[in-house]
């Protein structure tokens, strides 16, 4: 099957909210940065078809932080789909953002079909840990899913490839080899999008593009010579899909967008 008409997705990630909307971390007010990002996303024309948020909704797992995150995300124009990050709690995310009454704590992964493309959202979180992992059951689900060839994008929180930054690579998806083998063997995955590292990067491995997005909130330095946190503004990635074609660009929030939030 081939992809059909033009379709666009906003990939954003890592807002890291606190219960106090005025809380500042690394010089950034996360609630304000998220508000600015949402206003910027809502102003995109033509309007994106959907958004995928790849985790770390909150920095502190409190009801107040999740309520604040939910209130802000309800103002996003396009529908939003979620992945779980290492700072998230599966039950809280399900209760607040998916409106599930008695949510379980099992991994949250799923697949969407839009305009000839398959969008796979994985759960790489391991409760209580900063690094990521994937259990055998999820890997088997993915393997079965990808046996049907269809243009596919994968979204997840942790990076599955080394980015060459030792402290951050200690927090990557552990035992990524089975996942990479499935993605490579499927011959239909165009790109993998992830958050977690709080800066933009683009890697190429086994014919697949691997791209991160800047965090909405604070940014990490991307080289071993950098400070841990740097003063770049947050941002998001716009992905445009056409027939047999993928285009993408990262937008960093402008001073004007941040000032208006």
- Residues in contact with Fe ion by the rule CB under 5 A: 14, 56, 85-86, 196
Name the minimum Å distance from CB 155 to Fe ion: 14
Which residue's CB atom is positioned nearest to Fe ion?
56
Give the gyration radius of the chain's Cα atoms: 17
User: Which H or E run contains 242?
Assistant: strand 235-242
Q: Which is nearer to Fe ion, 173 or 241 (CB)?
A: 173
Name the minimum Å distance from CB 86 to Fe ion: 4
Q: Verify cis geometry, omega within 30 degrees of 0, for the bond prior to 102.
A: no
Q: Which is nearer to Fe ion, 117 or 194 (CB)?
A: 194
106/127 Cα distance (integer angstroms): 10
83/57 Cα distance (integer angstroms): 10
Name the minimum Å distance from CB 198 to Fe ion: 6
Residue-level length of the chain: 261
172/128 Cα distance (integer angstroms): 14
Q: Which is nearer to Fe ion, 14 or 123 (CB)?
A: 14
Q: Which is nearer to Fe ion, 56 or 257 (CB)?
A: 56
Name the minimum Å distance from CB 236 to Fe ion: 14
């Amino acid at each position: 099957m081939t992809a059909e008409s033009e379709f666009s997705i906003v990939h954003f990630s890592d807002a890291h909210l606190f219960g106090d909307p005025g809380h500042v971390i690394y010089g950034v007010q996360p609630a304000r940065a998220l508000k600015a990002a949402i206003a910027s996303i809502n102003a995109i024309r033509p309007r994106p078809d959907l958004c995928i948020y790849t985790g770390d909704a909150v920095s502190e797992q409190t009801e107040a932080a999740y309520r604040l995150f939910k209130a802000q995300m309800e103002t996003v124009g396009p529908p939003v789909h979620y992945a779980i990050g290492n700072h998230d709690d599966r039950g809280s995310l399900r209760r607040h953002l998916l409106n599930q009454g008695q949510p379980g704590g099992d991994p949250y992964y799923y697949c969407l079909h839009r305009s000839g493309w398959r969008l796979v959202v994985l759960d790489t979180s391991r409760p209580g840990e900063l690094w990521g992992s994937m259990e055998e059951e999820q890997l088997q689900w993915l393997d079965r899913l990808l046996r049907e060839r269809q243009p596919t994008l994968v979204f997840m929180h942790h990076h599955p490839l080394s980015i060459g930054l030792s402290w951050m690579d200690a927090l990557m998806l552990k035992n990524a080899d089975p996942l990479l083998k499935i993605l490579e063997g499927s011959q239909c995955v165009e790109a993998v999008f992830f958050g977690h590292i709080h800066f933009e990067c683009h890697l190429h491995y086994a014919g697949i593009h691997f791209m991160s997005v800047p965090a909405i909130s604070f940014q990490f330095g991307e080289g071993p010579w950098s400070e841990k946190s740097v003063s770049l503004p947050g941002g998001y990635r716009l992905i445009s899909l056409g027939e047999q074609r993928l285009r993408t660009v990262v937008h960093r929030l402008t001073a004007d967008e941040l000032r208006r939030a």
